[in-house]
Amino acid sequence: MKTDQQLSLLSLREGRDLKTTYISISSGKGGVGKTLVAINLGEILSESGKRVLIFDGDLGLSNVHLMYGISPSKDLSDFIRGFATIDELPVEVSKNLFFISGGSGFQSLADLPKTQLTNLLLKLHEFAEENFHYVIIDTPPGIHKTTVLLASSANIPIVITTPEPTAIMDAYALIKVINKQEGVRDFYVIVNKADNSAEARTVAESLELLAVRYTSARLNYIGYVRYRKNLIRRVIDQSPVDRGFKEELREAVSNLNLDVRAREGFWSKILKKLGV
């Protein structure tokens, strides 16, 4: 099928039946807690009986599976090489919670030939819309084009920063790029590794000050997660769900309207941006 035919088929399908909400987790600086937030958010959303997929968008440097200590038998690179079908990729980690690994040592999404990329996106679309209420996308750090693409197409783009000035500046840089290049206005901010709520609020306010002055973005601060020195132990032990972390995140998530649906669907936006 030709690409333009695939695209119109996709818009038809999306117009008829849009039920999945896409949440992206991004940051300017690396190591601020995106993967831990994605995993713990997946736990929270799946507890209410919703089916949730964590999609590791850090293609080629995927690490959700490492956090869980699971080595998936099939990942996206197998799908792309024709060694797996899409329904073979999700790994179930707990009731209603699955993840798809982006593969390790694999070239970036943007480098794929267009026909392969379109095929991949269409299959993911079909699979997600039929099987999941939420897709949580863990993106690569920085202003990587995959991050800009995935975050700007999500219904709920979440940006994570820590109190470090470099993390705040890099979060601002990411928001600025997505806002200026892609016209996205609403961002949802979580401050991780904060000492307390006052510090987190100050961090969110300084980020907002920058954004208000230099962009047309609207920053919605939804909450914070405290710095916990035992967390590194959990990561080393490949047990990424921490009760305290999860409860604070749950409070942040309660400030989100999870029913946010964009007028235009996630997948057709991505395909348009890629010019396919």
Which among ligand ATP, Mg ion, none contacts residue 139 (Cβ within 5 to 8 A by kind)? none
Residue of 65, 193, 246, 269 interacting with ligand ATP (CB under 6 A): 193
Binding track over 106-125 against Mg ion, x by CB under 5 A: --------------------
Closest by CA to 26, choosing from 164, 174, 184, 169, is: 174
Residue of 21, 24, 26, 35 interacting with ligand ATP (CB under 6 A): 35
Site for Mg ion in 16-75 (CB under 5 A): 34-35
* Rounded Cα distance, 207 and 201, in Å: 10
Cβ of residue 22: shortest distance to ligand ATP, in angstroms? 18
- To which residue do tokens 């690569």 refer? 140
Q: Are 104 and 62 in contact (CB under 8 A)?
A: yes
Site for ligand ATP in 244-263 (CB under 6 A): 245
Regarding 147 and contact with Mg ion (CB under 5 A), the answer is: no
Q: E-assigned strands of 121-260?
A: 134-138, 156-161, 186-194, 218-226
Which among Mg ion, ligand ATP, none contacts residue 27 (Cβ within 5 to 8 A by kind)? ligand ATP
- To which residue do tokens 């000035």 refer? 165
Closest by CA to 223, choosing from 267, 255, 199, 175, is: 255
Residue 79 CB coordination number (10 Å):
22
Regarding 231 and contact with ligand ATP (CB under 6 A), the answer is: yes
261 DSSP 8-state letter: -
Cβ of residue 6: shortest distance to ligand ATP, in angstroms? 31
110 DSSP 8-state letter: G
Containing 165, the helix (H) or strand (E) segment is helix 165-182
Regarding 30 and contact with ligand ATP (CB under 6 A), the answer is: yes
Instruction: Please report, as ranges, the residues that interact with ligand ATP according to CB under 6 A.
Output: 27, 30-36, 141, 192-193, 225, 227-228, 231-232, 235, 245
